[in-house]
Amino acid sequence: MSQIHPTAIVDDGVEIGSDCTIHAYAILRRGTVLGERVTVHPFAVVGGDPQDLHFDPATESGVRIGSGTTIREHVTVSRSTKAGTSTTIGENCFLMAACHVAHDCVLGNNVILANAVLLAGHVHVGDNCFIGGAAGIHQFARVGEGAIVSGGARIAQDIPPYAMAAERNEVIGFNLIGLKRRGVAREAVRELKEAFRVVYFTSGNIREIATKALGGETFRTPEARRFLEFFVSGKRGFARARREGHADEDGRGI
């Protein structure tokens, strides 16, 4: 049974799964759907209108929050801009205080947004990502599965899976520790490291290099192929690797 504080505001048409907790002064707007065991802390606003000057408030859209997700104080999650669609946050995510998730964003499962992270419209964040405090992600940018973005980073280009990014669109390393913690097989890690080298340290167009690598026989594991496939699509271009001091998360060179 869910618990809803008497001072929370829950609009008509909101769907709340079992065992949710809606704290005092939290606001859930129409079109919001919560899975099971979702917690919404005070002064968070879920499902508010997009901050889009051209948006028609009569549009029937919403927000979907996956089971087990926690939304802390003053977080805002805007509903999507297109009728019949939803801004989506996956399962077991943790959105720390004062984050903003704009309209039409899609977050995977097990995503952590530290305090005051700002996601502009249409941002996609893959499973198992961590985005550090006060980082800002430009509209339509993608953050690939298992990536880490450092606090205060300014990201306007796509960050590939399993990478570490910082500053202004800089890929500064490879998230080896994150892969180990999730039990990724050694062969997959070996192929990922090689795929990283091929893409970032071969002269030429990144998209073409990744496409060529996919067509060969070198990369067979699903993880390596997902890494390479990431470069086949996207609208923002790709963050570039820092050429000096490039290392794994544990400090060893790639």
Domain ranges in the chain? 3-177, 185-244
User: What is the 3-state secondary structure of 139-195?
Assistant: CCCEECCCCEECCCCEECCEECCCEEEECECEEEEECHHHHHHCCCCHHHHHHHHHH
For the chain, state the CA radius of gyration.
Answer: 19
pLDDT at position 103 is 98
Q: At which residue do the structure tokens 């990478």 appear?
A: 163
* pLDDT computed for residue 253 by the predictor: 45
Name the catalytic one among 31, 47, 90, 121: 121
Asked if 122 is an active-site residue, the reply is no
**Considering the domain 3-177 in this protein, what is its CATH number?**
2.160.10.10
Q: Which of 104, 127, 158, 248 is catalytic?
A: 104
The whole-number pLDDT of residue 245 equals: 45
Global confidence as pTM: 0.93
**Spans of the chain below 70 pLDDT:** 243-254
226-254 confidence digits (pLDDT tens): 999 999 988 899 999 976 544 454 444 44
Digit-coded pLDDT (tens) for 42-62: 999 999 999 999 999 999 999
Q: Which of 41, 100, 103, 138 is catalytic?
A: 103
Q: Are 226 and 213 in contact (CB under 8 A)?
A: no
Burial 95-108 (b: 16+ CB within 10 A, else e): bbbbbbbbbbbbbb
**pLDDT number for residue 250:** 47
